[in-house]
Amino acid sequence: MFFSGEIRGKGESRLQVLRLDGVSKSYPNGTVAVQDANLEVGEGELISFVGPSGCGKSTIFQMVAGLSKQTAGEIEILGGSTGQARRDNAISFVFQEATLMPWASVRDNVALPLKLRKLPPKQQEEEAERVLELVGLKDHAKSLPRQLSGGMRMRVSIARSLIAKPRILLMDEPFGALDEITRQTLQEELLSIWQRSKGMTVLFVTHNAFEAVYLSNRILVMTPRPGRISREIEVDVPYPRGEQFRSSAEFSRFVGLVNESLKH
């Protein structure tokens, strides 16, 4: 029996945190960016979206974040609307560019979401310290963004997205602009933060099949515009994964499967 509000995977059931039901998005200029997207996401999943440029990945994320309204279909988050999820601070967004305030310290950049919510300064500071520790930047709290490398700026951006303890983290190609070594380090850090979180769900956009396979428990492959979810690949490999997985035949097989799916 499959209960509504619950998702069944292999031998496990998860609370449903996100549901897209027949979601489409047409822009006023007539561009159909997304067509009939259907998706159920369980609590604590890490799902990657891969697909050709312009297939509507960012559009889906913007709709889920409540920044853009779908033109058809329904989006349900934690059993309520996208607006409610936003008001409850249940969702955080990390963009490809670490959009930081150049004049403010790392700590102030990270604390911004709490400052906007007018939380006491002491609490802002304590929470900022907590998340800076999580991303390994405790010793850089007083630095300015321009004093940091690209990878460190992305860590600041991730720390800021984590400070309000979101239930769902949307990451739109966060590591796309980083070199391969930094990228792999940040992948490890993301997995470690995700595993230590208490059931945080991560939705991740990437063009990189290696990244998608390494990180995700499920990969959604999208068609060229108008984007539809054409295939779902379950990466049923336990975490933590580590270097052994990256160099395994199993890893290559999954990467091949993703690349093959992108061709159809």
Ligand X SMILES: Nc1ncnc2c1ncn2[C@@H]1O[C@H](COP(=O)(O)OP(=O)(O)OP(=O)(O)O)[C@@H](O)[C@H]1O
* Interaction site with ligand X (CB under 6 A): 27, 29, 31, 33, 51, 53-59, 225
- Closer Cβ to ligand X, 58 or 105, answer by number: 58
SS3 state at 158: helix
User: Cα(203)–Cα(217) distance, rounded to whole angstroms?
Assistant: 11
Query: Residue 108 — φ and ψ, nearest 5°?
Result: -65, -35
**Best CA proximity match to 98, nearest among 183, 157, 145:** 157
- Closer Cβ to ligand X, 54 or 150, answer by number: 54
Outline where 138-241 has alpha helix (H): 150-162, 180-196, 209-215
Least distance (Å) between residue 176 CB and ligand X: 9
Least distance (Å) between residue 62 CB and ligand X: 7
| Structure tokens that stand for 202 in this block | 């991560």
- Closer Cβ to ligand X, 155 or 225, answer by number: 225
- Closer Cβ to ligand X, 146 or 264, answer by number: 264
What's the Rg (C-alpha) of the chain?
18
SS3 state at 98: coil
User: Cα(92)–Cα(194) distance, rounded to whole angstroms?
Assistant: 14
- Closer Cβ to ligand X, 25 or 140, answer by number: 25
- Closer Cβ to ligand X, 51 or 151, answer by number: 51
Angle between the 106-116 and 121-134 helix axes, to the nearest 10 degrees? Answer: 130
Beta bridge partners of 21: 74
Least distance (Å) between residue 55 CB and ligand X: 4
Least distance (Å) between residue 31 CB and ligand X: 4
- Closer Cβ to ligand X, 122 or 264, answer by number: 264
| Structure tokens that stand for 170 in this block | 């949307």
Helices vs strands, H then E, count in the chain = 9, 10
Least distance (Å) between residue 94 CB and ligand X: 14
Least distance (Å) between residue 231 CB and ligand X: 16
Least distance (Å) between residue 202 CB and ligand X: 17
* Number of Cβ atoms within 10 Å of the Cβ of 120: 9
User: Cα(168)–Cα(244) distance, rounded to whole angstroms?
Assistant: 29
